[in-house]
Chain A
Amino acid sequence: MIAEAGHFALTLALFVAIVQATLPMIGAHRGNALWMSMDKPTAIAQLLLVTFAFGCLTYSHVVSDFSVVNVVQNSHSLKPMLYKVSGVWGNHEGSLLLWVFILAAFGSAVAMFGDNLPPTLRARVLGVQAMIAVGFFLFMLLTSNPFERVFPAAMDGRDLNPLLQDPGLAFHPPFLYLGYVGFSMAFSFAIAALIEGRVDAAWARWVRPWTLAAWSFLTIGIGLGSWWAYYELGWGGWWFWDPVENASFMPWLAGTALLHSAIVVEKRDTMKTWTIFLAILAFSMSLLGTFLVRSGVLTSVHAFATDPERGVFILLLLMIVIGGSLALFAMRGPSLRSTGVFKPISREGGLLLNNLVMSTGCAVVLLGTLYPLFLDAVGGGKVSVGPPFFNSVFIPLMIPMFMAMGFGPVLSWKRSDLVQACLRLKVAFMVTGLACAAFLALIDQGPFLAILGLGLAVWLFVATFVELAERIKLFKEPIGSSFARLLRQPRASWGMTLAHLGMAIVIAGMAGAGGWKVESIQVMTPGETVNVAGYDYKFIGARQGQGPNYTIIAGEFEVTQGGKHVATLKPEKRNYPVRQMPTTEAAIHTLFTGDLYAVIGDPDGSNGGFVTRLYFNPLIVWMWAGSLIMAFGAAVSISDRRYRIGAPAKRKIQNAAQAKV
């Protein structure tokens, strides 16, 4: 009964979305205020219906209703409650339902807080949102119904893929989808602007907070995903250039470019075409990310539902959404007029470089991800494109980008002087030079690239601080007046400073973990000690036992350095009998300088030995700390007053108070 109610609500939501996709659009075209005003009630009705449907599926999972196929295939009566709930979106059908739920929530947010938007713009934005929703509802109802029943009801479920039974992953998809779907807002605004033929500063101010929010969620989502890969897959690695990871990384790259590009539209009334294009690109990549792994076109180590029969529908949807929006872009794009002009060396120039590098990076990742498909399609056989390709193309692309990132914020708008900028950054140059000399002197081995990475991290970190110091006129005015300036900095510029500092920390983490990882694989008997990167790992022993829905081998290591106790590590290997699948639970102890990481494997031989893998991963936690700082920076920026006051008339006053951002 509950499942049928959910199914009914979903069907009803489809019809509401059809109304929302047509009436307000036609109303905006004809100037019919009544039709336009239908956008708000329909958007809210759609959210209520989808929320109800989502609640129904969650209920079915929580009470383990094994007459619902989705529950049978992804749940088990013995599964802990957290994973019964996260199992709702840990599968193809449920994750789509989460997707439309978030889409409807974003739509309603525009409906409820968008009173200061021009009515035609709001009607069109919500109309485009509803068009996307219609596509998704149809896809779900026709090919991927989460409420399908099975008769007779099963005795018990097949269990959620054990790899997914993990707190890190339980919350990974919601964040990722908040990011993906968040870009639908920028997309809808871009399409609405193309229809209206107008892109101005006010438009950019409405788009930017949504983009920032989406970007912030996506950053956390990707961070959680790589953190999960790091401790759950037990290989000590954190990024594998796997199609699913790439699928989340491409919209992030496009989104990063978009949120920078929108600043230029807002401040300087130029780079409009870029901004519109990037908004379309970011959402197109999100759609590709959502579908690439489901369509059956590519397989991946963690693909969840591949089915070529759904593929045709997906391709059709992509053709309409991406093809349609790019066609509209080709038609209307050339008529967008910009007033701002700028020289290559200027703040705009720096941001343009950012757009170019990010888009190229996105293209590189797309090419690498789709290359196996291209080759297979022309009969070239099965290949997989691995880290060597991505590392050798992507990293060189990013190095000049990180160098420029230190310069960008100190350049002035319109026209700037490189020599002047270098002089302003002289402290940063000196510190970076000293740091690099120290690295070369202290670190006697390690790849050049990793040392370069550390140098770049120092450069970006210090340059960002120098820029902040410049802005508050530190040491140029009395300290009290500098401090007063510091407090008066707008939140948007705090956001930039935080995000750039976060990026510097991420680079340091990647360089450290990539360059100096120490790995040791061996069979150990209880009492044996192995030295890894200066730490003594003593194997205490292992016992076998029983968890709620799995059996375990639990090992114990004592880690000491120079005879002093550092940590006790307790890695586990779990075996889930329902799916006959083992998982590793790595034991990790995080130190400021790096992670102690231990994995236990199967018993080996007759003398009580176990296969063990021990790692020292330097600086790795900096990567996730840095990502969080970046996401936090975006959040601070969203809270800027300017975005809550949409009216363009107030802009002058604001600008006078905020000098520059």
Chain B
Amino acid sequence: MKRFMYLLPLGIFLVIAGYFAVGLTLNPRDMPSTLIDQKVPAFDLKPIKGSTRGLSSEDLKGQVTLVNIFGSWCVACLTEHPFLMEIQAQGLVPIYGIDWREKNPDDGPKWLARRGDPYTLIGDDPESKAAIALGVTGAPETFFVDKHGVIRYKHVGPITPGIWKRSLWPLVQELRKQ
């Protein structure tokens, strides 16, 4: 009995640690978006400066697409940018961009000219029109849209190679099969 009392704290701790281990595989930021399994809300964004075509919600039909919210002011977008370039270079999946809240219309195009443009089409969203409709909480954020134009998943924060390989790329492949 006395031995047991001394072992009790260790036992309790191990149970808690077990929960931590499970908890690490879950993402607390993975807030269930109310838009999941809903059609992409209608928007029609103007092109960014120097480009001729903008982005409208109609463009997101017919194939599985990624819609990536970015901005030249966003440091975290910079960290995911090289990997988006790689996705584009390998032709894995088309990425559509929403250039969010640029103070100056030149900022976005300059940023892309310097670092490369991974996007099939880009819409300019200085007034957060599409961003508010999509319920964007910050940049970068990426929506996974299936071929019927339905949002199937939202990824908050930068896409890293690890997360891509583990969960996002399998998701794209699964959406393609449906």
Which residues in A have some Cβ–Cβ distance to B below 8 Å? 72-73, 154, 158, 273, 277, 280-281, 284, 295-299, 306, 308-309, 311-312, 315, 318-319, 322-323, 326-327, 329-330, 333-334, 370, 373-374, 376-377, 382
Contact = CB atoms under 8 A, between A and B. Distances in A.
B113 interface: no
A296 B9 CA distance: 24
Contacts of B31: 382
Contacts of B10: 323, 326-327, 329-330
B6 A373 contact: no
B20 A315 contact: yes
Interface stretch (B21-29, B46-54, B86-94): B21-29
30 contacts: A158-B75, A295-B24, A297-B23, A298-B23, A299-B28, A306-B28, A308-B24, A311-B20, A312-B24, A315-B24, A318-B20, A319-B17, A322-B13, A323-B10, A323-B14, A326-B9, A329-B6, A330-B6, A330-B7, A330-B10, A334-B3, A334-B6, A370-B16, A373-B20, A373-B23, A376-B23, A376-B28, A377-B22, A382-B28, A382-B32
A72 B73 CA distance: 12
B2 interface: yes
Contacts of B23: 297-298, 373, 376-377
A376 B3 contact: no
Interface in B31-57: 31-32
A306 B6 contact: no
Contact of A333 (B6, B16, B22, B162): B6
B28 A298 contact: yes
The 9 nearest A-B residue pairs measured at CB? A377-B22, A326-B10, A297-B23, A311-B24, A299-B28, A330-B6, A333-B6, A330-B7, A373-B23
A284 B27 CA distance: 24
A6 to B, nearest CB: 21
Contacts of B24: 295-297, 308, 311-312, 315
Contacts of B13: 284, 322-323, 326
Given A73-B75, A326-B13, A376-B26, A315 B6 contact: no
A309 B24 CA distance: 9
A24 to B, nearest CB: 26
B3 A306 contact: no
A329 B9 contact: yes
Contacts of B29: 296, 299, 306
A270 B56 CA distance: 75
Contacts of B16: 370
A382 B6 CA distance: 34
A253 to B, nearest CB: 15
B130 to A, nearest CB: 17
A296 B22 CA distance: 12
A154 B75 contact: yes
A297 B7 contact: no
A373 B6 CA distance: 26
The dominant DSSP class at the A interface is: helix
Contacts of B32: 382
Contacts of B28: 296-299, 306, 376, 382
B17 to A, nearest CB: 6
B19 A373 contact: yes
Nearest to A273: B6
Nearest to A73: B75
B6 A370 contact: no
A308 B25 CA distance: 8
A297 B6 contact: no
Contacts of B7: 330
Interface in B79-131: none
A254 B7 CA distance: 19
B67 to A, nearest CB: 22
Nearest to B25: A308
A155 to B, nearest CB: 10
B87 to A, nearest CB: 20
Contacts of A374: 19
A270 to B, nearest CB: 15
B2 A334 contact: yes
Given A308-B27, A377-B23, 12 more contacts: A295-B20, A296-B28, A297-B28, A306-B29, A319-B17, A323-B14, A330-B9, A333-B6, A334-B2, A370-B16, A376-B26, A377-B22
B75 A296 contact: no
A333 B7 CA distance: 10
Nearest to A277: B9
Contacts of B19: 370, 373-374, 377
A296 B28 CA distance: 7
A370 B22 CA distance: 13
Query: Which residue of A311, A330, A370 has the most chain B CB atoms within 10 A of its CB atom?
Result: A330
Nearest to A307: B157
Contacts of B162: 309
A97 to B, nearest CB: 21
A373 B26 CA distance: 9
B15 to A, nearest CB: 9
Nearest to A288: B16
A295 B14 CA distance: 17
Contacts of A318: 17, 20
A319 B7 CA distance: 15
Nearest to B19: A377
A485 to B, nearest CB: 43
Contacts of A299: 28-29
B81 to A, nearest CB: 13
Contacts of A306: 28-29
Query: Which residue of A73, A296, A312 has the most chain B CB atoms within 10 A of its CB atom?
Result: A296
Nearest to A580: B101
A161 to B, nearest CB: 13
Contacts of B3: 330, 334
Given A329-B9, A334-B3, A323 B27 contact: no
B82 to A, nearest CB: 13
A387 B112 CA distance: 48
B33 to A, nearest CB: 13
Contact of A315 (B9, B17, B75): B17
A429 B144 CA distance: 69
Contacts of B14: 323
A299 B26 CA distance: 12
Nearest to A327: B10
A13 B120 CA distance: 49
B22 to A, nearest CB: 4
Contacts of B26: 376-377
Contacts of A295: 20, 24
Contacts of A298: 23, 28
A435 B113 CA distance: 76
B110 to A, nearest CB: 12
Nearest to A308: B24
B80 to A, nearest CB: 14
Query: Which residue of A73, A295, A308, A327 has the most chain B CB atoms within 10 A of its CB atom?
Result: A308
Contacts of A322: 13
A284 B13 CA distance: 10
A330 B29 CA distance: 37
B27 A296 contact: yes
Contacts of A376: 23, 26, 28
B178 to A, nearest CB: 24
Nearest to B78: A150
Contacts of A329: 6, 9-10
Contacts of A273: 6
